[in-house]
Amino acid sequence: MKDNNSHHLKFNPYLEQLYHSDKALIIYKVKDGYNLYTDFSKKIILTNNNIKNFINKATQFKFKKKETDIFIGFFGYEILNNLIGIKLKKQKGLKFPKGIFYKPETKVKLQNNIEPKK
């Protein structure tokens, strides 16, 4: 739980509640504002063994039924190189993650003109 005195501005009650919760969230900048994603139902940590299965599964959402039929995350350095055919020497000292993706269940659209309530 966040400290109630950590900020002095009041926002939309849902955003205020989300801010004070321990829920993870991801915010993306989009053309007309921001998209906020939360309530993640899946966490997929990529490995060289599951990358092809993940890509096949992720592309099944091509014709998504809901706006949250997406995965949000990143490909790590090693997997990106493997996908584009670049071979690297074993670099055991580097601890780059292979990649991680989340499936959100909630999307909140925030417009550019958000103004805090004082």
Note the pLDDT tens digit of each residue in 75-112. Answer: 887 777 777 888 777 666 666 668 899 999 999 888 77
Q: Is residue 27 part of a domain?
A: yes
Q: Is residue 58 part of a domain?
A: yes
**Tokens representing residue 92 in the block:** 């055991």
CA 62 to chain centre: 18
Q: Is residue 88 part of a domain?
A: yes
Q: What is the pTM of this model?
A: 0.68
Q: Is residue 42 part of a domain?
A: yes
16-29, pLDDT tens digit by residue? 888 888 888 888 88
Q: How many domains does the chain have?
A: 1
The position carrying tokens 């099944």 is 60
Q: Is residue 2 part of a domain?
A: no
Which structural domain, as residue segments, surrounds residue 51?
Answer: 13-111
